[in-house]
Structure 1
């Protein structure tokens, strides 16, 4: 290496350190930018070809950028429901807005990828982040939960229509000996419903059937039964309907009988929402629930039965499925003689308006409505890359796919979405200041090499004077 080569090498050092300072400057400038990933600098030595190892020289230097997209930034709670952060690898898929045509928003055809999750609703209901990127995902029908399309997520603020009750989910334990008003320890079978005051017997002892209790028999029916579940169901128009029920044991098990009999229970519902013993008629739900001596349900063998044309206050709710599941109804001994309800829900609701949005850990956009329901409205699209540091960084905190990054792999794959949070920049100011000091010293040292080379060349020139 001669003096001229040393001069060139020092110039390459100046360029490399200048490049490093440029990255440090950008990192510090974006230390508060949501989702920003710092850019580090790699230095690479360039060795001129030499004939023998004894004549090798250190050579010049080049500087390259190194992405840190896999380095997690800290999460900062914002208490904004539509904000989201990725805890783990991956990127949100976004598009940019290209214009509005006839009131319709148009978007870029290609996808971009970002870690910036400060999304909020714009005036049209789209989820857009602070850099103007529109979040992509799969829109869902809030009623059925089925996918309705893929693209930029748009949240509708239209009224959620009412859903009539079609299924009641119920599980409970019926007491072996119900504590009815008629029950007497000295009278065998007095706990059973039996024949009513008018002489009618509304019991169904096996299979299915129809039976009713007239208002005139209401008092004796109440005395021979125990309170069952009470709940509010909804009609097709969304109107609430209060359902009052009672359980009545209509037969005791008798192993000596021919054929042997089982414990049998019937469920009744009131035909009016306001129950009085003297003015309310009752309808048998239509099924005989048979239990063996161990208190286990033996008939029906299905996990659900249908209550036909359930009608309260003149409102016909239609055929309602009573779903008790496997082992959901039992008849074990209970000291209180009352029904112990374990589960009681129904699937209907009245109409409602959207109150707020939130993000679940599996990437669903959930809406909470004024009727108390929380329904899934969209699935956020998240992708990962085999080499995410191979992505090309663009403006606005977005990245573009390259040959080095590979193709996007759709799915969380172990990453979780944290709602109400955003990911901060992964820049460490203290570390950047340390790198800046080292860069400054290296830059100054290279200038010393240039000045020294200049002095040596001046001395060489002065030889011939």
Structure 2
């Protein structure tokens, strides 16, 4: 009997050494999870089924379990490297249609020639997620859209200023942008047409006389477009300046009324470009006080066309594209998948796992929600192998192997003694 127990012990110790050796070999493999050989004792049933023999017949490897503990996170220079901090796995597919999803924690991704996010160390597996504008459903292969962002024509301009009530009415009339004595102050903004052509629009503020009881002051607003005075058709000079609006303030400096407040850019549109209508001007919150003129805020809703210059991945999985026109755009979302029993996943090599019935149904969700972890871009998760502990385990397994070989040697000595008896 001792031979069988010793042999099973040798096999078990050898299996443990195999597992330890594999852990040590993958100590530098990104996303690798260390494994542990788990053993169970064996007993033989009695022939009359009255129970097991009180003496065991050896040991068997019951399971090789992986420890899905968090590995250290190391930063990198690749914007597509992604580390999972917490629970969850990347969902991957060997083809873009994702017929047989696979899972892993190795986040060393890059773009292939077709714009898909893939992991070369995982047989070029495609990273799955939700396309831009989608927040649920079955994940699909993530593809970075590198097409240019279209231009948006300006339809409104919002400005907030403080006008200096101490300033005098200009001594020169009518308004002339070339003569600073014909206006008090000015601000500038860039507008865009349907093709993204820029227009430098300068607005000028001309103080009117204070009148009435209680007294009110009206300021007229004039403009130039690319240096041309806004007014009558510039193609048929002379150009007659036209106010684009007026603002009236009461004695407390509060704006009480406006007129006009729009610009017709038809005469100034460049070849091929158009504006969908009048460009509205808003001066909500503007004031007139006894302090210096200041432009408090200014914005417009148009933009030039832009090309994708870079992209980044947020901790919630959102892929944010940055464009040359200073705009950003959602390009998709990386999803995570979790399982009730991660140890039920079947490792198939190349840092990939396959779902089994023991793992449970895959639960798909967005990072940072529920039990899912967060993502960290420009970083990878290191192997969770503790080399010091593995080397100690290796010594223990070696001693176990030696001890089992010793039981075989002793059993051989006993048999030899019996055979040599006379």
TM-score normalised by structure 1 residue count: 0.72
User: 1:239 deviation in Å?
Assistant: 0.7
1:397 to 320, 326, 351: 351
Partner of 2:225: 272
User: 1:415 deviation in Å?
Assistant: 2.5
- Pair 1:329 & 2:329 matched: no
Contact 1:365 1:380 in 2 (8 A): yes
User: 1:281 deviation in Å?
Assistant: 6.2
Relative to 1, partners in 2 of residues 1:146 and 1:24: Cα closer, same or farther, differing over 3 Å?
A: closer
Distance across 1 between alignment mates of 2:153 and 2:138? 26
Contact 1:272 1:312 in 2 (8 A): no
- Pair 1:158 & 2:117 matched: no
The 5 A counterparts of 1:33-432 are: 33-46=29-42, 56=54, 60-63=58-61, 64-69=63-68, 71-97=69-95, 107-130=97-120, 131=122, 132-140=124-132, 151-168=140-157, 170=159, 172-175=160-163, 177-182=164-169, 197=173, 222-223=182-183, 225-228=184-187, 230-247=188-205, 257=214, 268=221, 270-274=223-227, 284-286=243-245, 293=252, 307=262, 309-310=264-265, 313-314=268-269, 317=275, 318-320=277-279, 329-331=285-287, 333=289, 335-336=291-292, 338-341=293-296, 343-407=297-361, 408-412=363-367, 413=369, 415-432=373-390
Gaps of 5+ in 2: 232-237
Relative to 1, partners in 2 of residues 1:149 and 1:433: Cα closer, same or farther, differing over 3 Å?
A: closer
Contact 2:150 2:306 in 1 (8 A): yes
User: 1:402 deviation in Å?
Assistant: 2.6
Distance across 2 between alignment mates of 1:462 and 1:10? 23
Distance across 1 between alignment mates of 2:19 and 2:243? 79
Contact 1:382 1:411 in 2 (8 A): yes
Relative to 1, partners in 2 of residues 1:153 and 1:430: Cα closer, same or farther, differing over 3 Å?
A: same
Aligned length: 401
Gaps of 5+ in 1: 98-105, 184-189, 191-195, 199-214
Contact 2:317 2:366 in 1 (8 A): no
RMSD after superposition: 4.0
Relative to 1, partners in 2 of residues 1:36 and 1:331: Cα closer, same or farther, differing over 3 Å?
A: same
Distance across 1 between alignment mates of 2:410 and 2:135? 74
Relative to 1, partners in 2 of residues 1:282 and 1:393: Cα closer, same or farther, differing over 3 Å?
A: farther
Relative to 1, partners in 2 of residues 1:450 and 1:240: Cα closer, same or farther, differing over 3 Å?
A: same
- Pair 1:10 & 2:6 matched: yes
User: 1:429 deviation in Å?
Assistant: 2.2
TM-score normalised by structure 2 residue count: 0.79
Distance across 1 between alignment mates of 2:290 and 2:360? 65
Distance across 2 between alignment mates of 1:367 and 1:66? 40
Distance across 1 between alignment mates of 2:209 and 2:257? 14
User: 1:411 deviation in Å?
Assistant: 1.7
User: 1:179 deviation in Å?
Assistant: 4.7
Partner of 2:235: none
Aligned-partner SS, 2:94: strand
Relative to 1, partners in 2 of residues 1:197 and 1:287: Cα closer, same or farther, differing over 3 Å?
A: closer
